[in-house]
Amino acid sequence: MYDSSLRAQKSLILCEDGTHTLYSKEFDEPYHSTKDGALHETLEKYVKPTLHHQRAKDSLVILDICFGIGYDTLATIYYIKEQGLDTKLHIISPEFDEELVRSIGSFEYPSEFDSLRPIIESLSRDLYYSDEQFRIEILIGDARERILEIEQKVDIVYQDAFSPAHNPLLWTREWFGDIRSICNDDAILATYSTAAATRLGLYENGFEIYIHRAKLMRYSTIASLTPIEGEEFVDMELKKIRNTEAKSMRDGDYVE
Ligand SMILES: C[S@@+](CC[C@H](N)C(=O)[O-])C[C@H]1O[C@@H](n2cnc3c(N)ncnc32)[C@H](O)[C@@H]1O
C-alpha cells in the first residue's frame, strides 16, 4: 500500500500562506494543503470551528490524528493562548513516525509558534508535555492499534491523515467506529476530506455531516454527534438516494 522504507525521505515546502510543511515520499503527498497553507488550513479547518462548537466546556480532550509535525496540536495551543482562554486541554496524538517527532525541534515553524518553544522541545525529547493548562501525549505506533488503548472520552477529533487514496486504513468505516467508541456524546470531528466515502463512513457511525466554509479556503467537513448551528447541514439520506454508487471504505478492502 505504501513503502515504509521511504519514511525518512521528506522535503521542505513553502505554502502559499508563507508557512512551511513537508512532502512525504512514503505517501507521495504533502503534510498540508500548500494552497490553503499549513497554519491557515490548520486554524480554519480544525482549530477554530471545533473550539467554537465546544466553547461551553472548560476542559477538553482532543484526539489529533496524526501528529506529523504537530501543526494541529501547536496551533490549538497558540489559538487558546492568543484568545486568552483558560480552557484546559488534554491532547492525545498517535503517530508512527517517531524520527519525525524527534526532529521537530529544528523544524521551521511560523513565528506564531515562537512562544511554544518549550512545548516543542519537550515533545521532541519526551513525546510528552504538561503544565497547569495543557497536557500533550504523543502515542508512538500504529494509530489503528494505539486508539484501542485510549481510555479518555474525547470531545474533539482532528481527522488529518494523509488522503483516503494514499492512507485508506485511516478512513474506513471501522476506523471511524473506533473513533466513535471513545467519543463523548457531543463530540465534534473536523476533516479536510469532503469525499462521499468519508462522509458515509462517519454517518454510518452516528455522525451528522456539515460543510464548513472559511475565508480563502477550500470547504471542509465537520461531523457531529449532536446537532450544531452555524454550519451547512448535509442531508446524507438524500445523498444516498442521489448517489447509489457511493459507499464507505471498509477495512476488508485494504487488509490482506
Ligand atoms: C497528513 S500528515 C499529518 C499532519 C499533521 N496533522 C501536522 O499538522 O503536521 C499524516 C501523518 O500520519 C502519519 N501516519 C500515517 N499512517 C499512520 C498510522 N497508521 N499510524 C500512525 N501514524 C500514521 C504519518 O506519519 C504523518 O505524520
At 155-168, the pLDDT tens digits run 999 999 999 999 99
In the block, cell 521532541 appears at: 124
Grid cell digits, residue 198: 468519508
Written as one string, the DSSP assignment of 5-44 is: GGTT-EEEEE-TTS-EEEEETTTTEESS-TTT-HHHHIII
Distance 136 CA to ligand 1 centre (A): 16
pLDDT at 1 over 70: no
Reported confidence tier of residue 247, pLDDT bands at 50, 70, 90:
very high
Strands (E), 34-170: 59-65, 88-95, 128-130, 134-140, 154-159
What is the SS3 assignment for 78?
helix
How far apart CA 110 and CA 127 sit, in angstroms, is: 21
What is the SS3 assignment for 174?
helix
Q: What is the pLDDT of residue 50?
A: 98
**Amino acid making up residue 253:** D
The closest residue, in CA terms, to atom 27 on ligand 1 is 68
| pLDDT, mean of residues 128-150 | 98
Distance 84 CA to ligand 1 centre (A): 29
Distance 44 CA to ligand 1 centre (A): 19
The closest residue, in CA terms, to atom 24 on ligand 1 is 68
What is the SS3 assignment for 137?
strand
The closest residue, in CA terms, to atom 8 on ligand 1 is 71
Supply the pTM of this predicted model. Answer: 0.96
| Beta-carbon contacts of residue 139 (< 8 Å; ≥ 6 apart) | 92, 93, 94, 95, 146, 149, 150
At 191-222, the pLDDT tens digits run 999 999 999 999 999 999 999 999 888 999 99
Reported confidence tier of residue 3, pLDDT bands at 50, 70, 90:
confident
The closest residue, in CA terms, to atom 10 on ligand 1 is 161
Residue 125 — left, alpha, or beta (φ > 0 → left; ψ -120 to 50 → alpha)? alpha
The closest residue, in CA terms, to atom 12 on ligand 1 is 66
| pLDDT, mean of residues 84-95 | 98
List 212's β-bridge partners, or say none: 220
Q: Which atom of ligand 1 is nearest to the CA of 162?
A: 1
Q: Which atom of ligand 1 is nearest to the CA of 100?
A: 27
**Ligand 1 mutation target, pool 26, 92, 95, most atoms within 8 A of CB:** 95
Q: Which atom of ligand 1 is nearest to the CA of 72?
A: 8
Ligand 1, CB within 6 Å, residue ranges: 31, 66, 68-72, 94-97, 142-144, 160-162, 167, 170
**Ligand 1 mutation target, pool 66, 78, 140, 175, most atoms within 8 A of CB:** 66
| pLDDT, mean of residues 87-114 | 97
Residue 10 — left, alpha, or beta (φ > 0 → left; ψ -120 to 50 → alpha)? beta
Q: Please, what is the angle between helix 196-203 and helix 173-181, to 10°?
A: 40
pLDDT at 230 over 80: yes
